Copies of this chain bind each other. A is one copy, B any other.
């Protein structure tokens, strides 16, 4: 099955209680495509960088089966940059700096080969860009998954609601689900959000796991209890990449297979947080991933 992923490719400065990493590779699309590449190839990405983005990293992505035809490289411009500092609990963070750079004028152009895709992952970006991507598709994908955040609920709600109508699966965190729905109970929030478009709602709760809601049914996947979390950056995107990667690989969007996809996404995210940046996502093997999925099974089986 074909898979297109849209999102940022960027540099991050990250400070966590475990240490810091400066000017490391980040961006939603980077994490999504790397995670998905363990399940399906190619992963076609739509993104933008400046000419400061390391050639070595682009080569590495290609080697992992990431198709860069939809990646714009802007000469004389700088890549998107984000700097953040995590609090002790790792569930909350402060943004210290955001430099949009190439992202400020980003207009996503889908190469012809991208315009008929079975699976589409809309990473967290301004809803306007997400709409522009949807407009270029020749046919509706089998499954559209969308990630977003509270910032767009605050500043671009009308556009966000437009995108939501065209989306099958929405992934947001618990506070965002509450904000979007106006309901405190996540069960009630899911009902409200289903009516906005997405038949499936995934609520990400960080170290507390993830919930999947679909037509009154609910599934829960825990996060793996880890001795040490080094850097949570990109965990949600890695989760999304593993999730849609598994679905694209198996070409099965039934509720039971969505559950498995969530476990694969959670497994990929559990690797992601063990090192800074994308380091831990390099050099995984299918056996390592399967072993971790078995740990999730043991964790909840009774």
Contacts and interface: CB of A to CB of B under 8 A. Distances in A.
Indicate how many identical chains form the complex.
2
A151 interface: no
A226 interface: yes
A105 to B, nearest CB: 40
Contacts of A187: 225-227
Given A17-B184, A302-B263, A208 B211 contact: no
A218 B299 CA distance: 6
Interface of A: 17, 88-89, 184-188, 205, 208-209, 211, 218-222, 225-229, 256, 259-260, 262-263, 297, 299-302
Nearest to A217: B298
B300 A220 contact: yes
A302 B260 contact: yes
Contacts of A222: 209, 220, 222, 300
Contacts of A211: 225
A227 B185 contact: yes
Contact of A259 (B17, B226, B227, B302): B302
A302 to B, nearest CB: 4
B225 A186 contact: yes
A107 B184 CA distance: 43
Contacts of A89: 184
Contact of A220 (B205, B228, B299): B299
A263 B301 CA distance: 11
Contacts of A185: 226-229
Given A17-B184, A184-B17, A208-B208, A299 B225 contact: no
Given A259-B301, A259-B302, 20 more contacts: A185-B227, A186-B225, A187-B225, A187-B227, A188-B228, A208-B208, A208-B209, A209-B222, A218-B225, A219-B300, A219-B302, A220-B299, A220-B300, A221-B300, A221-B302, A222-B222, A222-B300, A260-B302, A262-B302, A300-B300
A89 B263 CA distance: 27
A117 to B, nearest CB: 26
Nearest to A295: B218
A294 B17 CA distance: 40
Contacts of A208: 205, 208-209
A299 B184 contact: no
17 contacts: A185-B226, A185-B227, A185-B228, A185-B229, A188-B228, A205-B208, A208-B208, A208-B209, A218-B299, A219-B302, A220-B299, A221-B302, A256-B302, A259-B302, A262-B302, A263-B302, A297-B302
